[in-house]
Chains A and B, each alone.
Chain A
Amino acid sequence: MHTHTTLMMATLTKALKPILGRQLGNTAKVFGAAVNSQRGKPTYAGQIIPPPAKYGGRHTVTLIPGDGIGPELLNHVRELFRFCCVPVDFEVVHVNSALTSEDDINNAIMAIRRNGIALKGNIETNHIMPPNHKSRNNLLRTSLDLYANVMHCQSLPGVQTRHKNIDIIIIRENTEGEYSSLEHESVSGVVESLKIITRNNSLRIADYAFKLARDKGRHKVTAVHKANIMKLGDGLFLQCCKEVASGYPDIEFDSMIVDNTTMQLVSKPHQFDVMVMPNLYGNVVSNVCAGLVGGPGLVPGANYGRDYAVFETATRNTGKSIANRNIANPTAMLLASCLMLDHLKIHDYANMIRGAILTTMNETRLHTVDIGGQGTTSEVVQSIMRIIQSGGPLTTEI
């Protein structure tokens, strides 16, 4: 009797495999490239990563409010999701950046491992604290091995900028490089900071970049480096990019030194298509691009790992000086939540919200202070909700 049941279960599972398999072996194709998630399968190390957190048709996503403008903007996200009846529940994990103990951030990491996806605000790193107090954001990225930071920089037609029609994808290595937090002071008054470049991580990020370029139909990938000075380090990065490039003959590969890149970006940004680079240059270049399309309040960013994805604003600002004053621009955070919905494959909701945001930006032109308008955060969110309501019934049939 017992064996009969197990046999039935086995055949049932086998029959359902194609349906289940589609979810388990999900390939994040829309924004991230074909990153085959290992969720639900035992890894080589023997640890089993739990299956996606989807029960009864509702997803569970970790929410880390962070500091500064994070909490208020993420509240707006939750308000909007509730209004649109998006089938996402948020598991809120607070991280106190002032504490020295790492328990908070470890809890957050555990929650993300459980749920697979997170939406976060930036956690402040106070640089007056002692050096052993590591950056919480950095800890999160390295523990979850979120190796690719993708930022899609697009000019919004309704926003006044000096450059028009910019469309650049920036892929930045997210775990090593200058952010390894390895420093020492062997001799008093002389500090050595180590910048680590490894072959594995460089190959991995280059592969990701070319896959993404191919998936999105892009024609050129530019590697940004400083190999004339850091010959071994950036030389290795460049070499790995070249090796991967040879496997993608349909995509043109180019390389440029970082100082020339930044100069070209401020004069002729249209020459760039997809850019791949190590950590620090990625930081600078993504901030330059964010400045070109209108500021830190407009661009969403995504951090992808093999098994996890964390969404946040691209320039990772805490915005302490404008916190709780209802003047922060919610666009970046809301677009990041749309990216998250795309990742969860609930495209209808994502497109609905994204459409409403873009309509508010471009047609209604309700802008916040940072892009030259006079609207408050709540006014913008209200406008988005009104547009969604006028677009049709709140609940859409999936």
Chain B
Amino acid sequence: MSISARSALVLFPTRLQPWTGLNNLKSPAVCCQRKKSSHTPPPAKYGGRHTVTLIPGDGIGPELLNHVRELFRFCCVPVDFEIVRVDSSASSEDDINNAVTAIKRNGVALKGNMETNHNLPPSHKSRNNLLRTSLDLYANIMHCQSLPGVPTRHKDIDVIIIRENTEGEYSSLEHENVSGVVECLKIITRVKSLRIAEYAFNLAREKGRRKVTAVHKANIMKLGDGLFLQCCKEVAAGYPDITFDNMIVDNTTMQLVSKPQQFDVMVMPNLYGNVVSNVCAGLVGGPGLVPGVNYGKDYAVFETATRNTGKSIANKNIANPTATLLASCLMLDHLKLHAYAKMIRKAVLRTLSETQLQTVDLGGQGTTSEVVYSIMQEIQRGGPRTTEQI
């Protein structure tokens, strides 16, 4: 029997059951329940090709995701995109419900940010928020790393930020009982806090990290953040090999701008996560560089970490494609197409370190298409476009 046939035999059984494959690089103990539940369909993989939902969004989303598709086609990545458009200005929720159904069908999505116009009435909920809560994507991970070749004031930053993605200040529960007095509810539940803490410690362990810091404001919000902190402490007790620390959010942000190297893994509720992740994104070079992931028990949605629409730079060919491309690499890792992921990631980082090609937000003069073209050239230089699939 020829070598390829033998290797095909060896590979075949593992290929049939990608979902039982243990913890992939990014989502450890989120054991995919997809095959076991009677309601969620099996992974969308037919004939060796995956289907992934693509939501273009607004602003720079469509153009950057077009580049992703272009690049994937160029590299012959076995991923097909099912495009679902969501009109952020329409008041009916049909669009977003279709998107949610598509993601339930495919299990994985790559999205751009959908604009939330705050001049519309309060009943018009944020589309991004609806997506996150309907699919119960409870963990938002952002791995913030200083990239070589990018000029920043701080060096050697390597922080993983885990942010609770479904409750907290983002519950959209507000009311005006008395005219002129608005009450916004911030919800913290024990179940979700335990869940996110468990996720954080698991991830820290998987990645060999030594410290988890919980960020809170329990001196003011004693019950709410007090509960969150308590849940983190309980979970920490089950992971004696990992140091657990806690810090108040104002001190955290101050330390981040002076000594960010002291942080390792951070876990926090929704709003603090928003602020802290934006501060970290600013420290490593801006919103155009960092990819983010939203994980749920059964679904995963990939996007840029800071979720900017970028309306002011849309369609001008100046947006930085790095964040979206790195997010697509994370998606490929999730689908276990590691060879493709590595290839694209290497090309992206190589191109990034070439200063003439950096986009405007990093202080360079390159355009988006120049950067993507350079990445393609880099990939072509690296060897044959089609690699033998693992």
Asked whether A184 lies within 8 Å of B223 as measured between CB atoms, the reply is yes
Assembled-state Cα–Cα distance A262/B258 (Å): 14
Q: How far is the CA of A188 from the CA of B191 in the complex (A)?
A: 11
With a cutoff of 8 Å between Cβ atoms, the chain A residues found around residue B282 in the complex are: 262-267
A-facing residues in B95-135 (Cβ within 8 Å): 116, 118, 122, 126, 129
**Min CB distance, B92 to chain A, in Å?**
18
Q: How far is the CA of A295 from the CA of B249 in the complex (A)?
A: 15
| Pairwise interchain contact A287-B250, C-beta atoms closer than 8 A | yes
The total number of A-B Cβ pairs within 8 Å is 175
Asked if residues B286 and A267 are in contact (CB atoms below 8 Å), the reply is: yes
Beta-carbon contacts under 8 Å, A188-207 to B:
188-200
Given A127-B219, A198-B182, A259-B275, verify A230-B253 contact (CB < 8 Å): no
A52: interface (CB < 8 Å):
no
| B276 CB → nearest A CB, Å | 8
Q: Take A191-B227, A192-B185, A229-B126 as given contacts and tell me if A131 and B222 are in contact as well, using a CB distance cutoff of 8 Å.
A: yes
A259 touches B122 (CB 8 A): no
Residue B251 lies at the interface, judged by CB distance under 8 Å to chain A: yes
Residue B9 is within 8 A (CB to CB) of chain A in the complex? no
Q: CB within 8 Å of A: which of B152-199?
A: 153-154, 169-170, 172, 174-176, 179-191
The residue from B153, B179, B184, B249 contacting A230, defined by CB atoms under 8 A apart: B184
Q: Which A residue sits closest to B287, measured CB to CB? A: A263
How far is B185's CA from A295's CA once the two chains are assembled, in angstroms?
33
Within B224-260, the residues touching A (CB, 8 Å) are 224, 226-227, 229, 249-251, 253-258
B286 neighbours in A (Cβ, 8 Å) = 263, 267
Q: Does A365 sit within 8 A of B, measured CB to CB? A: no
Q: Are B191 and A189 in contact (CB under 8 A)?
A: yes
Nearest CB on B from A5, distance (A): 51
Q: Is the CB of B174 within 8 A of A230?
A: yes
With contacts A127-B219, A184-B223, A259-B275 known, is A233 near B255, CB below 8 A? no
Residues of B within 8 A of A (CB): 116, 118, 122, 126, 129, 153-154, 169-170, 172, 174-176, 179-191, 217-224, 226-227, 229, 249-251, 253-258, 271, 274-275, 277-279, 281-283, 286-287, 306, 308
Pairs across A and B, CB under 8 Å, 18 listed: A131-B226, A189-B189, A190-B189, A191-B187, A194-B184, A195-B183, A196-B183, A226-B274, A229-B172, A259-B277, A259-B278, A262-B282, A266-B283, A280-B271, A284-B275, A287-B250, A287-B251, A295-B258
The 3 closest A-B pairs by CB, nearest first: A199-B180, A189-B190, A291-B257
